[in-house]
Amino acid sequence: MMVTVLAFVLTLAVLIVVHEYGHYRMAVACGVKVLRFSVGFGRVIWRRQRDADSTEFVVCALPLGGYVRMLDEREGRVPAAELDRCFNRKPLRHRVAIVAAGPLANLGLAVVLYAASNWLGVNEPKAVMSAPAPASLAESAGLRAGDWVRAIARPEGEWQEVRSLADLRWEVTQAALREEPLRLSVTDRDGRGAREMQLDLDRVTTGEVDATFMRAVGIGPGFSEAVLGRVAPGGPAAAAGLREGDRVLSVDGAPVADAQQLREKIRAALQAPAQGQGASAVEQRWRVLREGGEIDITVRPRVAEEAGGRLTARIDAFVGRPPEMTKVHYGPVEGLWKGAVRTWEVSVMTLRMLGRMLVGEASIKNLSGPLTIADFAGQSVQLGLAYYLGFLAVVSVSLGVLNLLPLPMLDGGHLMYYLFEGVTGRPVSEEWLARLQRGGIAVLLAMMSVALFNDVARLLGLH
């Protein structure tokens, strides 16, 4: 818990400081006097100011945002000698640059963070497929357990290497949001038997980009052999006589290709409750390879309750071995270029998903709030620096894109006002500004409420 809290606070601090520093540096460059640079809101807990004419830097008790306060005639009387340093007196191009600098600083930070993660490198499962879910797009395309996806065809036509399962998932998500099929170049696990196939992602619904979506596509966890790991004492596996190292060849006469398929067969043992009775699990006949010989074992999984109250069947044994891993890293130039490309792709994907939510084509369950961010921050820190930098980059992109939305109270809302001023030659009236501000607050509060509800629902296992 402490790691999660500290990672969340660090994440907020970095993103807020960079965002506000973008505003601050551009304001100074445009000759605007900056009165205060604040990280957080509420009671001041730290303050630094060189002299009465310089910027006051403060840290406040509530670290959920920040602001840069500039000299402005609309906020109070300004001495005549300092009128030329007022924000409102600056040309339109300067005001646009100052407002846009915050979100652009977040996007620039994302490029650097992605690049640093690429340079450090991360260990990822190889793009070797587990058994596709029945009736999924991958199964229809002919993908099998053990197939190694080596490359994907970009929209422009050229082939791009797939370095890991995470790479493949990203390309699948991108193609689904573009409503385009995705061509794959595939070999077996040893790199032989190259062939091409196509995932018809234009036929899948992207209401939520989550595990359910990937299951419909047929992209599961990395390939793992159907070998049992630790067997818990007293559980169904131990009671049946199963041992660590047993390789499962078939269940009820049906061959088992990998650990993912074995897990599916175990879950399929769950029976719907009969009238007046609880749920139960049926017996299964397993053929197991042990010490060079094949033996038949009868297994009856137990009924277990998952988060959210859903029932499933379990055998209380670890199924499968860790997937084969690969180190994904890039050189200095390629890593920086990949960082810029990934920042652009995540920005476009975020806008597409927001647009789909706006017209009802995507679920609002995709919105995440501070609890989810804190949870992922803690998990990524424990995985290592490269993973945390990648997570920080994602949040930085989201913050940059969100602030550029044309909503009052956000930087994008102010840019919208300046667009109106540039087109008409006059600023938005005070009356309309007040109306738009009230509407913007209502929209932001609604978005925050939905995001927080989604966070709580995820923690309770309701999503």
User: Three-state SS for 270?
Assistant: strand
| Residues of the chain by 3-state class (helix, strand, coil), percent to 5 | 50, 20, 30
Distance separating alpha carbons of residues 433 and 440, to the nearest angstrom: 10
Find the DSSP H helices in 80-125.
92-120
Distance separating alpha carbons of residues 257 and 314, to the nearest angstrom: 19
Distance separating alpha carbons of residues 205 and 212, to the nearest angstrom: 11
Which of 20, 161, 171, 421 is catalytic? The answer is 20
Q: Which of 69, 201, 204, 199 is nearest to 140 (CA)?
A: 199
197 - beta bridge partners?
A: 184
Q: Which of 222, 197, 209 is nearest to 137 (CA)?
A: 197
Q: Is 40 left (phi over 0), alpha (psi -120 to 50) or beta?
A: left
State both tokens at 32. 């605007």
Is 75 annotated as catalytic? no
What does the CA dihedral 143, 148, 150, 151 come to, rounded to 10 degrees?
20
Q: Is 35 left (phi over 0), alpha (psi -120 to 50) or beta?
A: alpha
Q: Are 206 and 176 in contact (CB under 8 A)?
A: yes
CA distances from 225 to 128, 280, 324 (A): 12, 28, 10
Q: Which residues are catalytic?
A: 20
